[in-house]
């Protein structure tokens, strides 16, 4: 059981002891700290915060605790109920709210939940703001409002529809071409809010959706991280239905992956590559992804005459780099699409609409589309943290050992070899060390990851 208190938010497992897991007391404490932080940022009479959640089992309990804590601070709450992370982000700006909270543990299993915290732009808080909230929670310096100054809760369940309307209005979403293509698509909503939002979007675009695990019960039918080893049912369903392709999202709908018409993975790294290719065909510009993402985005960007930049891992870092470089498209290799013409947040829904537009205009199958991109293969492995594992020592040792190679240390240690690369970093959201590799074959990528796992274990035991 775990409670991770970081600048990225508060994430933990439900139940157990306060301070060691995400208990009701912890949810109230950090919601209160966030509320005080919001009030310190903007000197005004009325404060408003948008709150939404994915469908995980603990969501309703945590949401009630969080919302009523904010009410106790005199903050008005717009309750979106079951929603998606990008929908909450957009609702913050559309409501001109002071912030937002999304209750989701993203791709983590059902026993996890988290408070993801947004600023008044509907964007994730930066490191400085996150630290201020952690400090407020630790200090206990929180004063609640008197009875005549309590906030109130207003329910608004229209925002998924409004989010879709905003996507349909984007110039690069080619509704006519998508409608004429008469696509048939299988949707794996992992029994969360993607099962609500994705079919609604597809219906609005004239796509026939075959639903798989689209009941928002919170009982995830498989590991909710959208990786190949978890998607056997979707892959088989696409073939059985003779569908054009399959779509899978994570529980809060900010990660997106595709399965081609043959039931093969398109590759979550290539979600961003394909969408960026489409956007750059219509609008010249720069791109950004994090340093754990595929080289293929760099290749596609340079093909279109743009400049590619790598950021530190984490959505807030990608967004800042996109702003700094005026990027027209960006995101993360885990299937996260950030399209600033809509908003600065990972958004599977806009990713689906842009991918469908690309596919319709290209008039090729999904497998043929994939063959048109540089062939890189990735391996994503992890090592569980233990008290005896000194991550800083390991990273310093690796940096020194491979000093003759191209080294990047803005986030862990990334070692760029001529034909492949490895990125070693401590996770912000789980008690693990991540080992990412990329090479020209799957075997080479896996072998490179296994080699570095063995080296880490050797250093740890020395």
Residues 32-89 pLDDT 10s: 999 999 999 977 889 999 999 999 999 999 999 999 999 999 999 999 999 999 999 9
**Predicted local distance difference test score (pLDDT) of residue 391:** 86
User: What CATH number should be reported for the domain whose range is 377-460?
Assistant: 3.30.310.50
- pTM score of the predicted model: 0.92
Catalytic residues: 106
Rounded Cα distance, 173 and 354, in Å: 6
Q: Directed axis angle between helix 296-303 and helix 268-282, to 10°? A: 10
Percent of the chain past pLDDT 90, that is, above it, reads 87
pLDDT of 392 reads 87
Per-residue confidence (pLDDT) for residue 334, from 0 to 100: 87
Domain with CATH 3.40.120.10 in the chain: 3-157, 162-371
Tens of pLDDT, residues 392-436: 888 999 999 999 999 999 999 999 999 999 999 988 767 788 999
Residues 3-157, CATH architecture: 3-Layer(aba) Sandwich (3.40)
The predicted structure's pLDDT at residue 462: 75
Of residues 451, 315, 435, the one with CA closest to residue 382 = 435
Q: What is the H or E stretch that residue 319 is in?
A: helix 315-325
Q: Which two tokens stand for residue 418?
A: 């001529």
For domain 162-371, which CATH number applies: 3.30.930.20, 3.40.50.300, 3.40.120.10, 3.30.565.10?
3.40.120.10
Kindly report, as residue ranges, where domains of CATH 3.30.310.50 are found in the chain. 377-460
Q: pLDDT value at position 381?
A: 92
* pLDDT for residue 85: 98
Report helix, strand or coil for 93: helix
pLDDT of residue 7: 65
Residue recorded with tokens 């200090």: 139
pLDDT of residue 44: 84
Beta strand extents in 222-342 (DSSP E only) = 245-249, 256-259, 286-290, 308-311, 327-332, 336-338
What's the average model confidence in pLDDT over 326-340?
Answer: 96
In sequence order, which ranges of 52-193 are alpha helices (DSSP H)?
59-72, 85-94, 127-139, 159-168, 175-181
pLDDT at position 143: 95
pLDDT band for 186, please (50, 70, 90 cuts).
very high
Q: Is the pLDDT of residue 191 over 80?
A: yes
Tokens 């993360």 locate to 332
pLDDT at 1 over 70: no
Dihedral sign (CA 283, 284, 289, 292): positive
Nearest to 196 by CA among 264, 249, 271, 121: 249
pLDDT class of 112 with cuts at 50, 70, 90: very high
Per-residue pLDDT of 204-216, as tens digits, reads 999 999 999 999 9
Three-state DSSP state, 265 = strand
Per-residue pLDDT band for 446 (boundaries 50, 70, 90) equals very high
Check: CB of residue 335 under 8 Å from CB of residue 293. no
Q: Is the model's pLDDT at 308 over the cut of 80?
A: yes
- Are 329 and 275 a contacting pair, CB within 8 Å? yes
What integer pLDDT is reported at residue 199 of this predicted model?
98
Strands 406-408, 377-384: pairing kind: unpaired
User: Which pLDDT belongs to residue 460?
Assistant: 81
User: Is 118 a residue whose pLDDT tops 90?
Assistant: yes
Q: What is the pLDDT of residues 339-373, one digit of tens each?
A: 999 999 999 999 999 999 999 999 999 999 999 99
- Beta strands 3-6; 9-13: pairing state: antiparallel
- b (16+ CB within 10 A) / e for 191-229: bbbbbbbbbbbbebbebebbebbbebebebebebbbbee
Range 116-132 burial, b when 16+ CB lie within 10 A, else e: bbbbbebbbbeeebbeb
How far CA 454 is from CA of 386, 394, 436, 444, 449, in Å, comes to: 16, 12, 14, 15, 9
Contact (Cβ atoms closer than 8 angstroms) between residue 36 and residue 136: yes
- For residue 379, CA distances in Å to 285, 376, 401, 434, 447 come to 29, 10, 22, 10, 9
251/186 Cα distance (integer angstroms): 16
């Amino acid at each position: 059981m775990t409670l991770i208190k970081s600048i990225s938010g508060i994430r933990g497992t439900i139940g157990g002891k306060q301070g060691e897991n995400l208990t009701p007391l912890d949810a109230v404490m950090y919601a209160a700290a966030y509320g005080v932080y919001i009030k310190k940022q903007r000197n005004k009479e009325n404060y408003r915060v948008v709150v939404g959640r994915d469908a995980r089992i603990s969501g309703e309990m945590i949401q009630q605790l969080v919302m009523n804590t904010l009410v106790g601070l005199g903050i008005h709450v717009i309750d979106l109920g079951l929603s998606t992370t990008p929908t909450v982000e957009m609702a913050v700006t559309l409501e001109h709210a002071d912030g937002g909270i999304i209750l989701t543990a993203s791709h983590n299993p059902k026993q996890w939940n988290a408070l993801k915290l947004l600023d008044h732009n509907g964007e994730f808080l930066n490191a400085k703001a996150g630290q201020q909230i952690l400090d407020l929670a630790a200090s206990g310096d929180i004063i609640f409002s008197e009875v005549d100054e309590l906030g109130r809760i207003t329910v608004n369940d229209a925002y998924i529809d409004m989010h879709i309307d905003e996507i349909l209005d984007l110039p690069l979403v080619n509704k006519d071409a998508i409608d004429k293509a008469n696509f048939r698509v299988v949707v794996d909503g992992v029994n969360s809010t993607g099962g609500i939002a994705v079919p609604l979007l597809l219906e609005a675009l004239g796509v026939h959706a075959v639903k798989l695990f689209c009941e928002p019960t919170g009982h995830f039918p498989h590991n909710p991280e959208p990786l190949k080893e978890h998607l056997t049912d979707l892959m088989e369903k696409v073939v059985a239905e003779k569908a054009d392709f399959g779509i899978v999202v994570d529980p809060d709908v900010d990660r997106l992956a595709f399965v081609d018409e043959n039931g093969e993975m398109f590759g979550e790294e290539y979600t961003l590559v394909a969408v960026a290719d489409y956007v750059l065909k219509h609008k010249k510009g720069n791109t950004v992804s994090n340093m754990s993402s595929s080289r293929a985005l760099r290749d596609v960007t340079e093909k279109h005459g743009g400049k590619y930049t790598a950021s530190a891992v984490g959505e807030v870092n990608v967004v800042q780099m996109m702003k700094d470089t005026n990027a027209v498209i960006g995101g993360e290799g885990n299937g996260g699409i950030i399209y600033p013409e809509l908003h600065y947040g990972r958004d599977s829904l806009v990713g689906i609409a842009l991918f469908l537009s690309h596919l319709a205009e290209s008039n090729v199958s999904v497998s043929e589309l994939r063959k048109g991109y540089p062939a890189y293969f990735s391996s994503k492995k992890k090592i569980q943290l233990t008290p005896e594992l000194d991550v800083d020592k390991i990273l310093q040792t690796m940096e020194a050992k491979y000093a003759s190679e191209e080294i990047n240390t803005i986030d862990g240690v990334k070692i760029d070899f001529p034909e492949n690369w490895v990125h070693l970093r401590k996770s912000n959201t789980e008690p693990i060390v991540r080992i990412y590799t990329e090479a020209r074959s799957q075997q080479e990528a896996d072998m490179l990851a296994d080699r570095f796992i063995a080296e880490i274990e050797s250093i740890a035991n020395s």
